[in-house]
Structure 1
Amino acid sequence: MRSKLFVPGSRPELFDKAMNSAADGVSFDLEDAVAPERKAQARSQLADYLFGLKPTAKKIVVRINEISSRFYADDLQALVGSQMRIVNLPKVESPEQITELVNDLERLEGKQGLSSPLHILANIESPCGLRRAFDIAAAHPRVMGLQLGFADLLEPLGIDRYDAGTVRQLQLALRLAAGEAGVAAYDTAYAQIKDPEGFAGEAAAARRLGFAGKSCIHPSQIELANAAFLPSADDITRALAILEAEETAQASGVGAYQMDGQMIDAPFVRRARVIVEQARHAGLLNPL
């Protein structure tokens, strides 16, 4: 998901608009975007919508309420079996919370005879969560990614969320944890809606760090995210050349080789395969 658009679960008039947007994924939010007194209504409206939704290629994410809240169990009960494909669990601080969510999902899926397991996107939004990010990501194969959340992580500590050095350090810490666990890393939201240059710059920096995509809180940010996480023409050309050279090297029994004055070996080949896969997914190359 290069772009993932947040939509408040209490705003059903926005559901179709979000689904018809250019966002790769839509994240329906039952947590921070919904006041406590409206949680039940929002949950019911969202469940009605997602159970009535036809299968779609767009990634359907739901940010449920945190596992310690009184709303958590009702969120899962209402939505498992719908078109929700990814459960976004907020404020994760331990692998045990992932295990608890997995057990609850297995129980609900088993009752309904579901054969396609739901995936988990874990939000890292506290110092403790960041410190244990790898353990969280590696807690279960259902975890498909980690997502940064700066509001809860930085505001209570009085840390400037828009300080570039701070942002890069936290992005890198999360990316390394996700990389060690073999899952994707997704960048945080950017609250300054009227600062497209700031959003684009932060997204570009995230892509250079190997992030898969970025959250969007306004439709105007979607195209910026899609463009930022799209492989460039030069990236694609070089990746294809690396893979072509790799075939020749393998046929010759060579493990490492030079291309354009640079030594190429297994890590570069793996990265080239990722770039080509991204390009095919985005329609920039013909499918295999």
Structure 2
Amino acid sequence: MRSKLFVPGDRPALFAKAMASEADILSFDLEDAVAVAAKADARTHVAAFLHAAPHRSAGKQVIVRTNAWHSHAWEDDLRAVLPLDIDLINLPKIESAEQLRQAMAEIEAIEARLQFRQRTGLLVNIETPRALRNAVAIATAHPRVRGLQLGLGDLFEPHGIRRTDLRNVHAAQYALRMAAAEAGVFAYDAAFPGLDDETGFRAEAASARALGYVGKSCVHPRQLAWANSVFASTDEEIEMARRIVDAAEDGAYAVDGRMVDAPFLARARAVLATVRHEEKQ
């Protein structure tokens, strides 16, 4: 899940190119990237393309970002998205556990009415101060929440918070990561607007990786290699993880003079699981 590429739903000419890209995940967008007049067409294009599930043969994970749960497009989005064989539905503009539960009630009502058997998980955007304050409650409001995604543009820009100051970025990343950790879900880093600013992208991505985020959103294919590089496990990390797991299996409690108890073993196993997933890509 190192890299996630946003794909505007109203640009079907890009769909096959995105599928052939370096992205681990494709996020088809029905929300901000699509003008109001084009939303119906975007919904139709995305549903038609994903109905054949080309992402399964390509080894990609797929997410669809719907419009906000309280918007006019919400129910139409659900009717188009819920029957699809996708990995996650991305819910934007959620600010409280109550809103999440209301959104889930509407999702489950449509599933029941149309007799959908699939129960797709949720990736919830955390993109306002209120949402960040309520992040733990949101993540634990329903068992289908799988992860929290940071939205720094919406979180910072309206309030004059400088994104160029990495201390501000780290503070938001840390708060969301702790919420995700408490809830037992994954954390995914925000998209970076600078298409040619590799240094800035890598700085944000490295900060997120150090906090245990699983990957970073990308708004252009050129950013994919940067994300994949930053979030790839290093040879040193893989070797240490293998040694910790091997030592634990032999009953040892130290590696290179360092204690390795249950938290270290859990981390080592997670690293090796990630490597196995990357090797399948």
* Shared fold (TM-score, shorter chain, > 0.5): yes
8 Å contact from structure 1 (residues 63, 88) kept in 2: yes
* Correspondence for 2:258: 262
Q: 1:193 aligns with which of 179, 192, 195?
A: 195
What's the CA shift for 1:55? 5.6
Alignment-derived partner of residue 43 in structure 1: 43
The aligned counterpart of 1:12 is 12
Describe the SS at the equivalent of 1:62: strand
Gaps of 5+ in 1: none
Deviation at 1:97, TM superposition (A): 2.2
Secondary structure at 1:282 match in 2? helix
> Is the Cα–Cα contact under 8 Å of residues 121 and 145 in structure 2 kept in the other structure?
yes
Question: What's the offset of the Cα at 1:189?
Answer: 0.5
Could you tell me which runs of 5 or more consecutive residues in structure 2 were left unpaired when the two chains were aligned: none
Deviation of the 1:18 alpha carbon: 0.7
Equivalent residue number for residue 32 of structure 1: 32
Out of 124, 139, 142, the residue aligned to residue 141 of structure 2 is 139
Structure 2 residue aligned with 1:282: 278
Is 1:96 matched with 2:89?
no
Deviation at 1:53, TM superposition (A): 3.4
Q: Distance between the aligned counterparts of 1:51 and 1:105, measured in 2?
A: 19
* Equivalent position of 1:105 in the other structure: 107
- Aligned twin of 2:175: 173
Q: Percent of aligned pairs with the same residue?
A: 48
Query: Counterpart of 2:279 in structure 1: which amino acid?
Result: G
Contact 1:105–1:118 (8 Å) recurs in 2: no
- Contact 1:55–1:83 (8 Å) recurs in 2: no
Query: Could you say what secondary structure the match of 1:165 adopts?
Result: helix
| Distance in 1, Cα, partners of 2:120 & 2:84 | 10
CA RMSD of superposed structures (Å): 1.5
Look up the SS of the partner of 2:249 in the other structure: helix
Deviation at 1:112, TM superposition (A): 4.2
Q: Which runs of 4+ in 1 moved over 2 A?
A: 52-55, 100-116
In structure 2, how many angstroms separate the alpha carbons of the residues matched to 1:47 and 1:158? 38
User: Alignment length, in residue pairs?
Assistant: 278
- Measured against aligned partners, the alpha-carbon deviations of 1:209-244 in whole angstroms (never above 9, x if no partner) come to 100000000000111111211111000100111111
